[in-house]
Amino acid sequence: MLSALLVMAAIAIVLGALLGFAAIKFRVEGNPLVDKIDAILPQTQCGQCSYPGCKPYATAIAAGEADINRCPPGGEEGIQKLADLLGVEFKPFGNETAAPKPKSVAIIDENTCIGCTLCIQACPVDAISGAAKQMHTIIAQECTGCELCIAPCPVDCISMIVIEEKITNWKWKYPTFPLVPA
């Protein structure tokens, strides 16, 4: 009777130690779901979702605090992907978020720029180069089109231009065929 108890206790201790060790060894840093959601978000860091960046929005979605339809730059496709990932119903854009816009980049009118650095401070991805009292310019490849630089500019010298279709970014279109009356 005693030996059986001892054996059971020993097994429990060994298994417990194993489990404890595994819990430390294979510990997952942070919530993996947040990273998965963050990977779907377009990383414009524009704050149109009312969160200060894509990661905070992803955290809020993972915590169930935010809806999946608050990211206009991600488009309906983004909502679809989030719905698939989280196993919830697709939800169209509501009234509280802006409508999705075509992808664009900001451009500084360099004749008007006074070099105040306010836009540099606003840019979430460091895509504006310049210094105090020097002309600023936008690094177009790094610009996410978040529009956060437009409001702070005191001389309104920043405008958004829609990215044009060029040979380098041209895509074959989905095959469509005109209906011909028989």
Question: Which chain residues interact with other proteins by CB under 8 A?
Answer: 38, 41-45, 53-55, 124-127, 142, 144, 165-175, 177, 180
Q: State which residue, 124 or 152, has the beta carbon closest to other proteins.
A: 124
Beta bridge partners of 105: 161
User: Nearest approach, Cβ of 135 to other proteins (angstroms)?
Assistant: 22
CA distances from 26 to 19, 22, 29, 35, 77 (A): 10, 6, 9, 17, 34
Contact 105, 164 (CB under 8 A): no
Q: State which residue, 16 or 52, has the beta carbon closest to other proteins.
A: 52
Q: State which residue, 77 or 96, has the beta carbon closest to other proteins.
A: 77
User: Nearest approach, Cβ of 159 to other proteins (angstroms)?
Assistant: 21
Residue 15's φ and ψ, nearest 5 degrees, are -65, -40
User: Nearest approach, Cβ of 156 to other proteins (angstroms)?
Assistant: 24
Residue 119's φ and ψ, nearest 5 degrees, are -70, -35
Q: State which residue, 112 or 121, has the beta carbon closest to other proteins.
A: 121
- Measure the CA–CA gap between 140 and 73, rounded to whole angstroms: 17
User: Nearest approach, Cβ of 10 to other proteins (angstroms)?
Assistant: 48
